[in-house]
């Protein structure tokens, strides 16, 4: 194996990624739209994935992704580089997601019906049609369970329990202290356990 092929297959290090972000942010803040396009293309997948895990696979995700990058574009000139761009970006993602969940809870947003196709997109390829149908129903049930949680607890649960982020990293993204995040996750687990019990009770009757 040549040295070159080893290097070409390796992902850039986080430091290199951050440096490239920094370069693109500087160019985009100076009005370079192409640099901003490169920037959002680099982060589109991670934004979409996190948004999906936090709010569920509803039909509003595309609009929210658009809203997130528009907010980033507007705020870019005020970004002073005190945190990494990815941290700055994902704070906006979580703010937008929390607002969306809040609106949905207050009944101000649309009542989102998750379609089979949107759930299907979450299933890894290779499963048989029967497995896919089962997984779709399972996902629908899981996201319905998350609806029991308040936006704050839901977001903290997704970051810490599902994405396995360290508490301090989750706290930094949520603009809260780690103890408060830990408490939210604890409460979320407690509520979800109660919800699981209720589901089991209904099934048994």
Residues near other proteins, by CB under 8 A? 33, 36-37, 40-41, 44-45, 48-49, 52-53, 57, 59-60, 62-63, 65-67, 69-71, 73-75, 78, 92, 95-96, 99, 105-111, 121-124, 138-139, 142, 145-146, 150, 157-158, 161-164, 177, 179-180, 183-184, 187, 189-190, 192-193, 196
Residues whose CB falls within 8 Å of the CB of residue 65, separated by 6 or more in sequence, listed in order: 44, 47, 48, 51
Angle between helices 178-204 and 129-146 (to 10 degrees): 120
Q: Token pair for residue 8?
A: 């070409």
Name which of 16 and 77 has its Cβ closer to other proteins.
Answer: 77
Distance of alpha carbon 155 from alpha carbon 170, whole angstroms: 9
CB of residue 111 to other proteins, shortest distance in Å: 8
Q: Which residue do the tokens 């901003």 mark?
A: 36
Name which of 84 and 189 has its Cβ closer to other proteins.
Answer: 189
Name which of 57 and 173 has its Cβ closer to other proteins.
Answer: 57
114 DSSP assignment = P
Distance of alpha carbon 44 from alpha carbon 98, whole angstroms: 19
CB of residue 1 to other proteins, shortest distance in Å: 29
147 DSSP assignment = T
CB of residue 187 to other proteins, shortest distance in Å: 5
Name which of 67 and 84 has its Cβ closer to other proteins.
Answer: 67
Instruction: For the chain, state the CA radius of gyration.
Output: 19
CB of residue 71 to other proteins, shortest distance in Å: 5
Q: Is the dihedral of CA 108, 50, 158, 204 positive or negative?
A: positive
CB of residue 73 to other proteins, shortest distance in Å: 6
Name which of 3 and 41 has its Cβ closer to other proteins.
Answer: 41
Distance of alpha carbon 143 from alpha carbon 172, whole angstroms: 25
Distance of alpha carbon 66 from alpha carbon 70, whole angstroms: 6
CB of residue 113 to other proteins, shortest distance in Å: 8
Name which of 87 and 177 has its Cβ closer to other proteins.
Answer: 177
């Amino acid at each position: 194996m040549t040295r070159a092929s080893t290097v070409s297959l390796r992902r850039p290090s986080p430091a290199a990624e951050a440096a490239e972000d920094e370069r693109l942010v500087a160019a985009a803040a100076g009005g370079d739209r192409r640099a901003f396009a490169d920037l959002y293309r680099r982060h589109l997948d991670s934004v979409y994935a996190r948004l999906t895990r936090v709010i569920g696979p509803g039909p509003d995700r595309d609009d929210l992704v658009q809203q997130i990058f528009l907010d980033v574009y507007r705020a870019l000139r005020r970004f002073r580089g005190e945190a990494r761009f990815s941290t700055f970006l994902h704070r906006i993602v979580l703010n937008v997601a929390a607002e969306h969940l809040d609106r949905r809870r207050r009944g101000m947003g649309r009542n989102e019906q998750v379609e089979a196709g949107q759930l299907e997109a979450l299933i890894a390829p290779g499963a048989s049609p029967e497995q896919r149908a089962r997984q779709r129903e399972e996902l629908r049930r899981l996201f319905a369970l998350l609806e029991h949680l308040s936006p704050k607890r839901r977001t903290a649960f997704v970051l810490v329990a599902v994405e396995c982020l360290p508490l301090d990293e989750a706290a930094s993204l949520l603009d809260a202290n780690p103890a408060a995040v830990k408490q939210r996750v604890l409460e979320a687990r407690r509520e979800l356990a109660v919800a699981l019990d209720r589901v089991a009770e209904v099934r048994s009757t």
